[in-house]
Amino acid sequence: MPDGTESFHDVNCAFSTRTALHDVVNKAISKSKLTCSRSDPKTIKVKVYRLNLREGQVTRASVGEMETTLPFAPMTDAEYEQEMQDVVAGLPLEFKIFVEAQAYIRGHSAGYEEVVAVARSIADSLKPAVDQYITRMKKEGW
């Protein structure tokens, strides 16, 4: 790991080297509990080595290295509020309330990330119809 932390994992060699390398890196990151914020994604370079034990001697050989983006830390209240504002931007107030309520009902048990994902899906589906509705209302003089 970038901070020098070592993590040891068994690897199933039946997979391709790239798949095995990816598996080892993901396990090491998970074990280290490294995360980053959404506003500042971090990419790290992880070096992977193979250890061999022969006649009581340990040898270490480089297998490769991989760059990967750290997983995001759980969303904070402020990040959630900002994401939701971005998702419902451009929708009339009545639709914003509907999107936020439906997203919460459908996704709250899985956390903020799921609520935002559901809200984005609903809002993306609604926006074309809302735009058409607003255009029609303007033509009709509302």
* pLDDT digit string, tens, across residues 59-107: 888 888 888 889 988 899 999 999 999 999 989 998 999 999 999 999 9
> pLDDT tens across 110-137, in order?
999 999 999 999 999 999 999 999 899 9
The closest of 2, 6, 12 to 49, measured between CA atoms, is 6
In a domain, 12, yes or no: no
The rounded distance, in Å, linking the Cα atoms of 142 and 134 is 9
Residues of the domain holding 96: 77-139
Q: What is the pTM of this model?
A: 0.62
In a domain, 65, yes or no: yes
Same domain, 58 and 83: no
In a domain, 1, yes or no: no
In a domain, 126, yes or no: yes
CA atoms within 13 A on the CB side of 9: 20
In a domain, 10, yes or no: no
